Copies of this chain bind each other. A is one copy, B any other.
Amino acid sequence: MRQAGRYLPEYRATRQRAGDFMTLCKTPELACEVTLQPLQRFDLDAAILFSDILTIPDAMGLGLSVVENKGPQFARPLRSGNDIRNLTVPDMVTDLGYVSDAVRLIKRELQGKVPLIGFAGSPWTIATYMIEGGSSKNFSKAKGMLYGQSEQLHRLLELLSRAITDYLNAQIAAGVDVVMLFDSWGGILSHAAYSEFSLAYMRRIIQGLRAADTGRATPIILFTKGGGLWIEDIARSGCDAIGLDWSMDIELARKSVGAQVALQGNLDTAVLYSSPASIRRQVAEVLAAYGQGEGHVFNLGHGIHPDIDPDQVAVLVDAVHELSRPYHAG
């Protein structure tokens, strides 16, 4: 999940200085600055690239703007099969080079202290925004296409898969140590539709990353919000780790997938609305639920909401370090 964000006053200051969200994403120095902010404040084990899952459709010409409290909006959403046929894979240097530039800058600043996690949205998740024109409540247009014009949707997902593969390979080439595929909206699908329209394309991306990734073996994390029901399918996708939201018991998840994949998660972010004592208690419960042995990457089950007090995040990070010690023994 994004570490930097509106819950941090220093982030809000940089964003104000940038003028708007997309300038923040597109200016490597600023993206680097906000990427590093959480590490200056908290004792974190990794940095997460500051960017957005919609940089790819923006580079395809859809015209992205991110309006405070309104979310992302496209000036030119996809309106027809023709719009889809006219799309092409963006160039990773001329169109999206700012992301690789940011990665190189961040890596230099990190001096190897902690690894850097890169990411991309999943094809289905990105497609929903391109079709709806922004955030959606019912996903009526995207699902209408899924059920009614599935060939068009498959064409779009295929193109996005190629773009995302290139995009993550570019991030890896620029230096990220881990990549994460973010499937924010896979969980709104039926099991059958998830398999056909989301997971199948993520599997294709994973294959494309493996094929290009000679020697370094960059770990790949797959996160489908609300995907707990399909965890066994996800574990067979070829990914190295599964990001879990908080709805699934991590003990049961571990039993389902065995040692095939690592598990990342899965504290309910809303715990941060409670007290320090309660945060420590809930951290202890997640650690105990996963139990002894390798393969657990502690994380929140979702991004941090803007109204969270950063001091609560500090309590969380310290609790994870302190309470996880017995699990690292031996």
Contacts and interface: CB of A to CB of B under 8 A. Distances in A.
B191 A247 contact: yes
A271 B147 contact: yes
A211 interface: no
A7 interface: no
A285 B191 CA distance: 12
Contacts of A247: 187-191, 226, 229
A292 to B, nearest CB: 20
Contacts of A226: 226, 247
A151 interface: no
A329 interface: no
B273 A144 contact: yes
A307 interface: yes
Nearest to A267: B190
A129 interface: no
A134 to B, nearest CB: 16
18 contacts: A140-B273, A140-B307, A143-B270, A143-B274, A144-B270, A146-B274, A147-B278, A148-B275, A188-B247, A189-B247, A189-B268, A190-B246, A190-B247, A190-B268, A191-B248, A192-B285, A226-B247, A229-B247
Contacts of A146: 270, 274
A253 B270 CA distance: 29
Q: In the complex, which of the residues A246, A247, A252, A271 has the most CB atoms of chain B within 10 Å of its own CB atom?
A: A247
Given A226-B247, A270-B138, A147 B282 contact: yes
Contacts of A266: 190
Given A191-B252, A229-B228, A229-B247, A268 B143 contact: yes
Contacts of A248: 191, 229
